[in-house]
């Protein structure tokens, strides 16, 4: 059956692969940290495709700096884009999912379960997003809304990442393959929902 999906955070790599899964797409330039823009963006999607069935909270940010190097504003920006943006988008999406159910997926990272040195803003934001996903899953699951968190353990094969290194391509995650796994979460039968999914290349150490 046709579904209306919002991908919050689209760029080269996984965001693009997720958006390409649909037959029809609409780009809506939106600052996910701004409530009014999020509300307007979702309304634009509803007018074009109908109520939202799927939300992927994919936007993230964070200066790659440690405790002594990061500016408080940079830290706040990381928290605003990931956790706060995910909150605002989820509140909008859930309003459409209360009768028929739906799926909300958060894109996580290894830093969501193991803080990364020299990346305090990114790590804090990803930890927060993971906590949000777990909390929302417990709250919304009984209402038929599937919430899942995906740990991306490794580097995604974006054009820039692959071109700028001599690493073997098998060390990268294929964004199209990740997108297929996201769609599997959407299609899961509610008797066996996944809360957290780890994805990594077969050569990745963990």
Task: Dump pLDDT digits (tens) for 113-151.
Answer: 999 999 999 999 999 999 999 999 999 999 999 999 999
**pLDDT > 90? residue 205:** no
pLDDT value for 107:
97
| Mean pLDDT score, 147-158 | 93
Pairing of strands 145-152, 196-199: parallel
What is the per-residue burial (b if ≥16 Cβ within 10 Å, else e) of 31-59?
ebbeeeebeebbeebbeebebbbbbbbbb
Closest C-alpha among 71, 157, 85, 158 to residue 121:
71
| Mean pLDDT score, 23-47 | 95
User: Which run of H or of E encompasses 189?
Assistant: none
Q: Which CATH class is domain 5-199?
A: alpha beta
| Mean pLDDT score, 72-94 | 97
**pLDDT > 90? residue 168:** no
For the chain, where are the E strands, in sequence order? 5-8, 54-57, 102-109, 145-152, 155-156, 172-173, 196-199
| Mean pLDDT score, 90-115 | 96
Distance CA 167, CA 191 (A): 41
Cβ-proximal residues to 179 (8 Å cutoff; 6+ apart), any chain: 14, 17, 18, 20, 21
Distance CA 84, CA 62 (A): 13
- 179 or 166: whose pLDDT is higher? 179
CA angle, 76 then 128 then 63, to 5° = 40
| Mean pLDDT score, 83-104 | 97
**pLDDT > 80? residue 163:** no
| Mean pLDDT score, 94-112 | 96
Residue ranges in 109-166 assigned as alpha helix (H): 120-140, 159-163
Check the CA dihedral 93-155-171-15 and report its sign. Answer: positive
**pLDDT > 70? residue 164:** no
**pLDDT > 90? residue 82:** yes
Distance CA 17, CA 120 (A): 28
**pLDDT > 80? residue 99:** yes
Break the chain into its structural domains and give their ranges. 5-199
Share of the chain above pLDDT 90, in %: 80
Distance CA 18, CA 178 (A): 8
The encoded tokens of residue 18 equal: 């997720």
Work out the pLDDT band at 62, boundaries 50, 70, 90. confident
pLDDT value for 198:
97
Check the CA dihedral 28-32-115-166 and report its sign. Answer: positive
pLDDT value for 48:
95
For the chain, the C-alpha Rg in angstroms (whole number) is 17
pLDDT value for 1:
67
Distance CA 34, CA 42 (A): 12
């Amino acid at each position: 059956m046709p579904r209306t999906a919002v991908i919050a955070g689209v760029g080269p790599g996984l965001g693009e692969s997720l958006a390409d899964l649909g037959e029809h797409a609409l780009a809506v330039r939106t600052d996910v940290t701004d409530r009014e823009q999020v509300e307007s963006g979702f309304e634009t999607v509803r007018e074009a495709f109908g109520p939202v069935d799927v939300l992927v909270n994919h936007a993230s940010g964070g200066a790659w700096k440690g405790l002594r190097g990061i500016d408080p504003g940079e830290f706040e920006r990381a928290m605003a884009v990931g956790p706060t943006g995910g909150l605002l988008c989820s509140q909008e999406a859930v309003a459409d999912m209360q009768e028929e159910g739906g799926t909300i997926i958060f894109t996580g990272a290894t830093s969501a379960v193991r803080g990364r040195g020299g990346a305090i803003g990114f790590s804090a934001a990803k930890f927060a997003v993971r906590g949000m996903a777990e909390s929302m899953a417990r709250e919304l699951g009984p209402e038929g809304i599937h919430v899942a968190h995906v740990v991306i353990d490794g580097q995604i094969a974006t054009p820039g990442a692959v071109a700028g290194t001599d690493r073997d391509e098998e060390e990268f995650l294929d964004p199209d393959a990740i997108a297929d796994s996201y769609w599997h979460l959407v299609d899961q039968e509610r008797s066996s929902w996944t809360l957290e999914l780890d994805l990594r290349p077969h050569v990745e150490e963990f």
